Structure 1
Amino acid sequence: MNNKPNKALNQTLTKMVPAVLTALIATGLGFIALYTSPVPMIQDFGKMLTVGMIISFIVGVFILIPILFTRDHFFKRERIKKKQLKFKNKKGDRLFNWFTNKLISLKWLIIFAAFLSAGLGIWADLQAGVETDVEKFMPQDTQELKDIHKLREILGSTDSISVVYEADDVSSAEILEWVDGISRTVESEFPETVIDSRSVTTALRQMNDGELPETQELEEYLTEMPTDQKKLLINEEETRGVITLNIEHLEAEELKGFIDDLIHYLKAEELNGVETTVTGKAVLDVEMVTALTTGRYKMTLLGMGLVFFGLLFVYRDPVKAFIPLLPIALIVGWSGGAMYLLEIKYTPLTATLGALIIGIGTEFTILIMERFYEERDKGRNSKDAIMISNRKIGKAILASAFTTIGGFSALLISDFVILSNFGLMTLINISLALFSTMVVMPAILIILDRFVKIRHVREKELPVN
């Protein structure tokens, strides 16, 4: 009976599965940062990533490994095929050895160039814009979008902001005069933005030949106003009313500036006993801008912090817990630089890239590091250990990266800009994660190896296979 499948199964369960489980835990901790986002769709995205990751691990351990063991245990491969495969593997091993030797000789240059370019990328990322305009996410040649533009040309506006005001009695003469003043002056205060306004007093003016009814007539006019029209302007209890402002279609940053100015204007014109609130879809868009601009940095830093403390708990070594995060920090910087150079704005999808970088990159770096210290514990020096690690684990990482790239490539052909941009940046980030793991990680491991305690080192160095 051939014992090689049994030996391979034992090594996989004792060596590879714990390493993959550690990477899984670190990746999951990185995805937890998505739950802190104020944007619900980002929270849901984080949940689905976590669920998918757990399912993949379970399938790999309880389905894939038994299938591979069954194939090798019960079905013998032909010797010719084995010789051909062995010959191909030797050629590939020589290539990996040559590549790793070059990396080792240039390790300080690689580290300097990597951190310098990542720093420039982080600076460039701070200049990147944010896109929350749903119209920009859609295919620009769709008939529905053309209809919206045509309607906007006819009506002058399809966007609006609501100013909700509350008081004990919003139908009192004093408050109605205040509402009338706001409704009439807001257009002149913001002539380039506000197209027109509508409130209960504009309806009263329409009922009275363009004039606001006298104080003693206000209650009578309010009673005569059609119920369906009145309830759109004030509630039945007459404790709350709304002023609707039809505005020009603005970009996110311009819209934020206008809302801030509008809030200051209302505060300057406030009336005792009346509370105002600026609300509506436009305000939600501004809140999303804030969430995407400030939230994405917080999510990335929080994710890296959680991964660090998780690895610190697993390894009990701060240096060993810190090493996998260095390539991740580089990818974050490079990704920001790529977005800046490609003039891609952040959207609710691309704002999650930081967490995705942590998830994908951490898995790669931990697998390489685990194999490196496995070889170091056997007694090999750092150079030999990294050459074996790159040769053995590098092939698996290359295969994983290429299959992931193939899956996300489908997003590139989407007509929706938000999806195609997300797909493009995901492909770039996976490529950067692969580059950082295969090129920069070996240099980091060799340089920081002196600070990591090796559990057991044999007196006699083992040969490099």
Structure 2
Amino acid sequence: MNNINNDKDKAKKSLYSTIKKMVPAIFTAMTATILGFIALSTSPVPMIQDFGKMLTVGMIISFVFALFFLLPILFTRDHFFTPKMKDKINKPKKAKRIVVIDRLLEWFTQKTIAFRWGIIILAFVAATFGIMVDLDADVETDVETFMPQDSQELADIHKLRDILGTTDQVSLVYQGEDILNDESLVWVDKMSESLPEEFPDVVVETKSITGILKQMNDNELPSGSEIRDQIAEMPEGQSKLFVNEDHSKGVITVGIKHLEAADLEEFLGNLNLYLNENKLDSLDTTITGKSVLDVEMIDGLAGGRYQMTLLGAGFVFLGLLLLYRHPVKAFIPLLPILLIVGWSGMMMHFLGLNYTPLTATLGALIIGIGTEFTILIMERYFEEREKGHAKVDAMKITNKTIGKAIFATALANIGGFSALVASDFVILSDFGLMTLINISLALLSTIVVLPSILIILDRFVKIKQTT
């Protein structure tokens, strides 16, 4: 009976200790993670904004579930169910395994602290190199490269492109008070005829209202009132493809070859320059279409990924500063994760991977995920320091008590994201691979770099002794 009462008392004390010590630390880690994810909402690409929102919602649900569902289950198990006596033969084996793991963690911690300056220098050099090569990294937005490369649908697209010469296009929209006057139509005809000659390696064909009018008049362009009369005779569905009802807007459809992202951006730049050189004062022209949106996405991803990363780091720092009210404590858990941004860029460079709409989120994503690890380690370290332990001893105890939990969390994340690697869609498999790499780097940074940072910066944090 006494044993049962003791078990119940231990369960109550464990619950109280968890709520008092672990829940605030986990809440702080969750807040930092959410702040990192919120940075994704600043992306100019809507799909990335939605991705950030769903990650934020998922984190909040996970925290609520753990607090109001998992803890009661664990308490119920320990309070109302008496554990059975374990086999005495297995106890020494289990105890031996625990001792081996603890000694391994202690030895590893001792070594990382001993070589802390070398570790810090090497980590910063690798991160700097990674950022340098990452600045020149390409961004891939071609939907065809994201699809399974052996799919029948992709083969059909390629076959259709071989037959027609093109499946891609841009649209030149021109507008004015009256786009059917002789001067405007001559300009439209000139553009329609000259674009294939000016860009022979890119432009396959052009279609415009002047092309239809010339077909109706033995390759001659009508003038005056004949233009309006002949357009009125056209089927409504045909004329609306090129001019609107009040004849204030028109479009020249330019069929182009399928281009890589960089080549497409260069072509659009040259096309815009050509239009400016041959501009008609009475008309305003705009280049539009899916290809233009692809280039805008490239620019948004190329510049936006750094913006998201920096904003994520800024949000996390400000959030931790409000919670800790100490700049050094707010900076410590962030520094090892910022290094991963450079390491990740280096890994993508060596693997020959281009950024996609998904991998462009990795900077802000890993700041959110990685700070969870570093905050929990830091919280536990300073808890031991407040108990009066020396710096090295506090770090050893921290890794022994919470190191296994950090490993388990990282492995669980790796296991979850590893399913994406098996996807037939390249965009998902690349994202899954890089997420696995980044989580592994976050774990490496937490157990190797963070202890060195904590030991070095410990002097700047005022420790209040509790015992």
2:101 aligns with 92
Using the alignment, how far apart are the partners of 2:240 and 2:376 within structure 1? 63
> Quick one: which amino acid aligns to residue 430 of structure 2?
N
Corresponding residue number in structure 1 for 2:11:
5
1:145 aligns with 2:154: yes
Tell me which amino acid in the other structure corresponds to 1:42.
Answer: I
* Correspondent of 1:307 among 299, 316, 326: 316
Q: In the alignment, is the contact (CA less than 8 A) between 1:376 and 1:457 conserved in 2?
A: no
Describe the superposition over 1:23-57 as per-residue Cα deviations: whole angstroms up to 9, x where unpaired: 01111111111001111110110011001100100
> Which residue type is aligned with residue 286 of structure 1?
V
**Counterpart amino acid of 2:31?**
I
The answer (yes or no) to whether the contact 1:386–1:442 under 8 Å persists in 2 is yes
What is the aligned counterpart of 2:139 among 130, 136, 147?
A: 130
Q: Match for 2:63: what amino acid?
A: F
Offset, 1:432:
0.3
Q: Match of 2:282?
A: 273
Give the drift of 1:82: 5.9
Preserved CA contact (<8 Å) 1:401 1:431: yes
Q: Name the residue aligned to 1:289.
A: 298
Q: 1:379 maps to which residue?
A: 388
Give distance in 2, aligned partners of 1:55 and 1:219. Answer: 63
Cα displacement (A) at 1:143? 0.9
Question: Are residue 62 (structure 1) and residue 68 (structure 2) matched?
Answer: yes
Quote the residue 1:18 is aligned against. Answer: 24
1:157 Cα offset (Å): 0.3
1:75 to 72, 77, 81: 81
Separation (CA, whole Å) in 1 of partners of 2:457 and 2:239 = 73
Residue type of the alignment partner of 1:375: E
The corresponding residue for 2:459 is 450
1:359 Cα deviation from its structure 2 partner: 1.1
Distance 2:17 2:164 in 1: 71
Give 4+ residue runs of structure 1 displaced > 3 Å after superposition: 79-87
Shift of 1:273: 2.4
Q: What CA deviation, in whole Å up to 9, does each residue of 1:108-142 have, x standing for no partner? A: 11111111111111111112111100000001111
Question: Is the 1:127–1:340 Cα contact (8 Å) retained in structure 2?
Answer: no
| The 10-residue stretch of structure 1 (218-227 or 7-16) with the greater mean CA deviation from structure 2 | 218-227
Deviation at 1:392, TM superposition (A): 1.1
Q: Which stretch shifts more, 264-273 or 20-29?
A: 264-273
Partner Cα separation in structure 2 for residue 214 and residue 39 of structure 1: 46
* Structure 2: unaligned runs, 5 residues or longer: none
Where does residue 177 of structure 1 map in the other structure? 186
Quick one: distance in 1 between partners of 2:78 and 2:96?
20
- Deviation digits for residues 325-345 of structure 1 (CA, Å, limit 9, x no counterpart): 111111111111001100111
TM-score scaled by length of structure 2? 0.96
CA displacement 1:262-294 (0-9 Å, x = unmatched)? 111111111112111100000000011001100
Contact 1:401/1:430 (CA < 8 Å) preserved in 2? yes
Residues 128 and 345 in structure 1, CA contact (< 8 A), matched pair in contact too: yes
CA apart distance, 1:417: 0.5
2:118 to 95, 109, 118: 109
> After the TM superposition, which of the residue ranges 271-280 and 73-82 deviates more from structure 2?
73-82
Q: RMSD in angstroms over aligned alpha carbons?
A: 1.2
Q: Which residue of 2 aligns with 1:218?
A: 227
Compute the displacement of 1:455 (Å). Answer: 2.3
> Which residue number in structure 2 is paired with residue 463 of structure 1?
none
User: Is 1:398 the equivalent of 2:398?
Assistant: no
Deviation at 1:224, TM superposition (A): 2.0
Q: Distance in 2 between matches of 1:438 and 1:279?
A: 50
- Range with bigger deviation, 201-210 or 2-11: 2-11
Match runs of 1:317-336 below 5 Å: 317-336=326-345
- SS of structure 2 residue aligned to 1:162: strand
Structure 2 residue 36 is matched with structure 1 residue 30: yes
- 1:349 Cα deviation (Å)? 0.6
Residue correspondence of structure 1 range 227-238 to structure 2 within 5 A: 227-238=236-247
The answer to whether the 8 Å contact 1:36/1:299 transfers is: yes
Q: Supply the distance in 2 between the matched residues of 1:281 and 1:393 (Cα, whole angstroms).
A: 51
**Aligned residue identity for 1:294:** G
1:125-182 deviations in Å (ceiling 9; x for gaps)? 1121111000000011111111110110110000000010111111111111111111
Q: Distance in 2 between matches of 1:166 and 1:218?
A: 17
Q: State the AA in 2 paired with 1:34.
A: L
- Residue 91 of structure 1, CA deviation: 2.1
| Aligned pairs for 1:192-271 within 5 A | 192-271=201-280
Which SS does the other structure have where 2:191 is aligned?
Answer: helix
Instruction: Verify the 8 A CA contact 1:159 1:249 in the aligned structure 2.
Output: yes
CA distance in 2, matches of 1:216, 1:415: 58
1:408 alignment partner AA: F
8 Å Cα contact 1:165-1:275 kept in structure 2: yes
The aligned amino acid for 1:17 is V
Measured after TM superposition, the shift of residue 216 of structure 1 is: 4.6
CA distance in 1, matches of 2:376, 2:224: 79
1:407-443, Cα deviation, whole Å (9 max, x unpaired): 1111111111001000000000010000000111000
Q: Which moved more, 1:179-188 or 1:337-346?
A: 179-188
How far the C-alpha of 1:317 sits from its partner, in A, is 0.6
Take 2:225 and 2:282, find their aligned partners in 1: how far apart are those partners?
A: 22
Residue 161 of structure 1: aligned partner: 170
Distance 1:226 1:386 in 2: 80
The aligned residue for residue 435 of structure 2 is: 426
Conserved 8 A contact 1:166-1:239: yes
SS at match of 2:231: helix
Give the TM-score, by structure 1 length: 0.96
Alpha-carbon distance between aligned partners in 1 of 2:420 and 2:163, rounded to the nearest angstrom: 36
Cα offset, 1:295, TM superposition:
0.2
**Partner in structure 2 of residue 462 of structure 1:** none
Residue 365 (structure 2) pairs with residue 341 (structure 1): no
Query: What is the distance in 2 between the residues matched to 1:7 and 1:97?
Result: 28
| Corresponding residue number in structure 2 for 1:461 | none
Letter matched to residue 376 of structure 2: L
Shift of 1:223: 2.1
Q: Which secondary structure does the structure 2 equivalent of 1:196 belong to?
A: strand
Q: Is this contact kept in 2: 1:412–1:424, CA < 8 A? A: yes
**Identical aligned pairs, as a percentage?**
61
Query: Counterpart of 1:277 in 2: which secondary structure?
Result: strand
Deviation of 1:453 (Å): 1.1
CA contact (8 A) 1:183 1:243 kept: yes
